[in-house]
């Protein structure tokens, strides 16, 4: 397939709260090409996890997908029946959820968790199948007989990756797959994720906070702010010439890309997702905001090759 493996348009997710709907994801769109590695970054609460949960149709009440389109290999994910959706998850698109290691069933040995996944997809694995999957993520076959609490954090994350690739999906969504691990293990686990993703020919969306790790892993990066994608582009372009004022502040706060650094805080607080004042969501923290920014919300516009920025004040007039 030469077109995108995943197409997302105008996707919005809102959570019902006592003070009204909170727009956690607010009209985002992007395409993911086969085998592409895309990163999603943005401060806590910007909507990264909500985005990937929505792609999997795993938003639970009080949340709901309120608008948008998601096409996976040309199929309309939001229109799939529950049964087709169940068959699609893991098989065509899988998620390593945030805090994945705590999502492993504590009372089942690892091998049984693979068996459950295969049974749910009518697959009858041969004896070596689980051992083969474990070996692909750098784990010995004996891990199949272990319970999650008998494994280190890094080993559990590797198990979660093995589950995510077990049915050779076309898209892997990995939500901070290494954040809970120490620095050395983070690098190793990410290298494993990258290797298996290439082996099975999947595309990946990686959510992360460590900018240096992200910069080395992904081809393209999307920057989220208050539920919007404010900048997307090739990772080298965005790091060399960040263009949205928010991206500039984020990347400007990094000492260098080789220094291991998570995002620095930037001054101010994000806007309320329930009040949603008119105009640009970044206006209250933006050093260059003008009158127009308080009235009109900027849509993403091209500012270079494959480089989109949602700001009235940058790029071509």
DSSP tag of 125: -
Q: Does 45 bind ligand ATP (CB under 6 A)?
A: yes
The CB-of-47 to ligand ATP minimum distance in angstroms stands at 4
Comparison of 48 and 312: residue with beta carbon closer to ligand ATP: 48
For ligand ATP, what does the binding mask look like between residues 9 and 28, x meaning CB under 6 A?
A: ------x-x----x-x----
Q: Shortest Cβ contact with Mg ion: which residue? A: 49
* Residue 271 within binding range of ligand ATP, rule CB under 6 A: no
Indicate whether 221 belongs to the interface with ligand ATP (CB under 6 A): no
How far is the C-alpha of 42 from the C-alpha of 129, rounded, in Å? 38
Interacting residues toward Mg ion by CB under 5 A: 48-49, 98
The residue among 91, 79, 70 whose CA lies nearest residue 4 is 70
Q: What span, in angstroms and rounded, lies between the C-alpha atoms of 254 and 180? A: 21
- Rounded to the nearest 5 percent, the helix, strand and coil shares of the chain are 35, 25, 40
Reduce the DSSP state of residue 234 to 3 states and report it.
strand
Residues 201, 195: Cα–Cα separation, whole Å: 10
Residue 7 or 26 having the CB closest to ligand ATP: 26
Greatest distance between any 2 Cα atoms in the chain: 66
> Considering only residues 165, 273, 293, 311, which one is a binding residue for ligand ATP as defined by CB under 6 A?
273
Single out the residue of 62, 140, 278, 302 in contact with ligand ATP (rule: CB under 6 A). 62
SS3 at position 236 = helix
Q: Which residues bind ligand ATP (CB under 6 A)?
A: 15, 17, 22, 24, 42, 44-50, 62-63, 98, 273
């Amino acid at each position: 397939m030469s077109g995108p493996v995943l197409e997302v348009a105008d996707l919005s997710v809102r959570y019902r709260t006592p003070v009204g709907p909170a727009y956690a994801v607010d009209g985002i769109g992007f395409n993911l090409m086969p085998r592409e590695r895309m990163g999603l970054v943005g401060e806590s609460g910007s909507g990264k996890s909500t985005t990937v949960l929505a792609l999997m149709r795993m938003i639970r009440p009080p949340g709901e997908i309120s608008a948008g389109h998601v096409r996976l290999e040309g199929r309309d994910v939001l229109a799939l029946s529950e049964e087709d959706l169940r068959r699609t998850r893991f098989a065509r698109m899988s998620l390593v959820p945030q805090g994945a290691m705590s999502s492993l069933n504590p009372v089942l040995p690892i091998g049984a968790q693979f068996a459950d996944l295969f049974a749910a997809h009518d697959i009858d694995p041969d004896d070596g199948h689980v051992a083969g999957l474990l070996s692909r993520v750098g784990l010995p076959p004996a891990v199949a007989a272990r319970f999650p609490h008998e494994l280190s954090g890094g080993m559990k994350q590797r198990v979660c990756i093995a589950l995510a690739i077990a049915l050779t999906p076309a898209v892997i969504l990995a939500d901070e797959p290494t954040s809970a691990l120490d620095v050395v293990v983070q690098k190793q686990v990410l290298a494993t994720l990258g290797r298996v993703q290439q082996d099975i020919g999947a595309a990946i969306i990686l959510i992360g906070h460590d900018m240096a790790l992200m910069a080395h892993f992904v081809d393209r990066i999307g920057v989220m702010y208050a539920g919007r994608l404010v900048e997307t582009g090739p990772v080298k372009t965005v790091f060399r010439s960040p263009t949205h004022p928010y991206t500039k502040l984020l990347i400007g706060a990094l000492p260098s890309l080789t220094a291991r650094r998570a995002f620095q805080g930037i001054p101010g607080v994000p806007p309320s997702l329930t009040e949603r004042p008119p105009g640009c969501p970044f206006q209250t923290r933006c050093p260059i905001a003008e009158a127009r920014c308080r009235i009109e919300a900027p849509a993403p516009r091209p500012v270079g090759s494959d480089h989109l920025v949602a700001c009235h004040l940058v790029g071509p007039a």
